[in-house]
Amino acid sequence: MASSISSADVARLARGIRAGDRAVLSRAITLIESKRADHRRSAAALMQALVGTTGKAVRVGITGAPGVGKSTTIDALGTMLTMQRRKVAVLAVDPSSRRTGGSILADKTRMARLANDANAFIRPSPASGTLGGVAARTRETVLLCEAAGYDVVLVETIGVGQSEIAVADMTDFFLLLMLPGAGDELQGLKKGVVELADMIAVNKADGDNVPRAKAAAAEYRAALHILTPRSANWSPPVVTYSALTGEGVAALWAHILHHREKLTAAGELASRRAEQQVKWMWAMLEERLFAPLRSDRSIKAALTSIEAEVAAGTLAPAAAVDKIVGILGR
């Protein structure tokens, strides 16, 4: 999308999105992913035009270690939901991978049924960028999908650490997928991620793996007792399921809906969404303010020199910050 976008173009995009036009939705997402200043202004105008038509979807974040079966789970869950006449959007957050590597490229292959489902929409994360930038654009994509009539948005985090926190901060329900282990289940359990989880689901509970999956679930259940849950209105369940056979997938969705009912009744869902909106604003502002540091050649050259002075001990970090602020303020 190289050409400038007029206000009439923005209005047409908004109409197409509200009509559920998938091609228009894809163009709109490309617009919000653009780093051009004029495109950013048009994207902001588009989001403002759609603000009254967003917020109605069930937003679910899904994370887990590589090999846990995230894509297979999303394919099974998403297909079950589209069979219930729901419209499902699948988004990915991965600031470190490019389209030529990692699991981004293979997503549609692993989600074979959803990829060919007229009621599903799959969108990888931007090819590269900072976590803040990728997450901010994914948040905007969530809103675009909601405006286009998708009533379930599944956000998959492929990265680790901070990307998991970012996804938890843009969804209503955070699902942590785990595998049956061999007695060392708790070794790989990251306390920070577990505290964010609204449910732990042990995948591959099929065939000979069923006893091991149940044993792993029991250990996770015991571990959760010593952690503070994310919400005072919800105790995270630990369940087993099989994405391969579909056994237990319906129960995953039932827990998600029950969580939504409880948090809505307590007013927590609305307050969480409002808090997320403000966080999104600050994240986007930070990304916008730091953009020149990454894109302007003269600024990048000056930063390299300042970094060298700080490393050599000839310039104090506080003075270096003042210099950088001065450069940005020119």
**pLDDT, tens digit (0-9, with 9 covering 90-100), for 14-25:** 999 999 999 999
> Where does CATH 3.40.50.300 sit in the chain?
55-266
> Where does CATH 1.20.5.170 sit in the chain?
1-53
Token pair belonging to 146: 């909601």
**pLDDT, tens digit (0-9, with 9 covering 90-100), for 45-56:** 999 999 889 999
Domain 55-266: which CATH number of 3.40.50.2000, 2.160.10.10, 3.40.50.300, 3.40.47.10: 3.40.50.300
Q: What is this structure's pTM?
A: 0.87
**pLDDT, tens digit (0-9, with 9 covering 90-100), for 91-143:** 988 766 544 444 444 555 678 899 899 999 999 876 556 666 677 788 999 99
Q: Report whether 144 contacts 28 (CB < 8 A).
A: yes
Q: What does CATH list as the number for 1-53? A: 1.20.5.170
